[in-house]
Each structure stands twice: as structure tokens, then as C-alpha cells.
A and B are shown apart, each in its own frame.
Chain A
């Protein structure tokens, strides 16, 4: 069974650093792109970026480029989303997602088939 299991809720102060995680299981982790999606309180979903664990190729939304860092540790099937200096406006739920792969055609689909349970992040002084 494919699962994306995220790390638990975090409460941080402005200016602090943070790294949250997403562990994939039940599939070949290095063969599927993993992405991150933000949901601010009472707001919609926003695509942040993706990473390919096989070669660490990363793409970011222009809105998040330079604001966060997406990385992976393929040895433990885990993707990360990292901030160096948090702001109150980073308060949100963060979801990791998996990009599906078409085994028949040998190419990637352009949608997200599995979602993590979400990691709530609260940044407050």
C-alpha cells in the first residue's frame, strides 16, 4: 500500500528554522516525483514545488523560489521542506504529494495521486 506519512505539528517563533518531512512507503521512492502544497488558514491549496528523488532535480513555484528548500534523503525514502527563517505568514498546513507514473507508456502523469496527511505549522511570537 502506497503511503506518504508526514511529520507532526510544529509550533515555532519568527526567525527560527524548520524542516518537516514526508516518508514514502509501498513503492519505489526514487522513481516518483514528490511535491509540496501549502494551505494557509481558511484558504485554498497552493503548489510550492517538486523534487525527483532519483537525481534531486527540483522545480519551484515562482511564489516560493528562494523562500523554501525542497530536498530528499533517498536512503530513508524521505522528502523534506525547509525554512531558514520562518515568518508568521508561513503558518499553514503543508501537504506532500506524489506525482503518478504511467507504467504502460513509461512516462509521468501530470497530476498527484497520493497525498500525505498534512503537517500543521504555526509561527507565532
Chain B
């Protein structure tokens, strides 16, 4: 079974830059798996941030950016703000109408 690996936790200082990554248990992540990223704050439904590797969803600030870094999908937050403190999930499309979620990264801004 496909496993997506994300850092369990990460911390960043206000105004700082952080890159969260998403890797496959076997193989490399590529743009043909259409990586997407979602943000979830406690008690809320997730919110779509990034799709097709690097396209920001409507209304998402440009401090959020997506890319492929080496063998992994990456979400970079430039100029982190206090309300960026959330859980972040990557998702890959595996083809044939099948998706897989990563385990999520808990981001602390302090």
C-alpha cells in the first residue's frame, strides 16, 4: 500500500520561511501525481491551499507556494504568520480515481 510521508511536526518563527515536504515510501513524487496541499486548523474542516503541484487555490495568500524538491512535493510558507499555525496535509492522485493522503505536519509558529 502506498504511504506518503510528511514531517510529523515543524516550527517556524513569525516572519520566517518553512518548507514542508511529502515523500513516497517507494519512489519519487512527480507532477504527474498532481500534488495538492490542505490546511486544517483545530475544529475546522480542511481548506484547499495548492493543487497541480504549485497552483494556489482561490483566495490563498501568495506566501504559500508549492513545488517539487528533489523526490518530494513541497509546501513553502514565506513570511509565516501566527494564523498559519495549523496541520498541513499533502495528497497525491494515484490514477484511476484513487487518492492518498499524507500523515500531516503540525506547524507551530513561535
Q: Which residues of A contact B (CB under 8 A)?
A: 33, 35, 37, 44-47, 50, 57, 59, 61-63, 95, 100, 109-118
Contact = CB atoms under 8 A, between A and B. Distances in A.
Given A111-B93, A116-B45, A47 B102 contact: no
Contacts, number: 67
B14 interface: no
Contacts of B101: 37, 44-47
A60 B23 CA distance: 22
A37 B47 CA distance: 13
Classify the interface of chain A: helix, strand, loop or mixed.
strand
A115 B51 CA distance: 15
Contacts of B51: 100, 109-111, 113
Contacts of A35: 99
B93 A110 contact: yes
A70 to B, nearest CB: 12
B47 A110 contact: no
Contacts of B98: 47, 59, 61
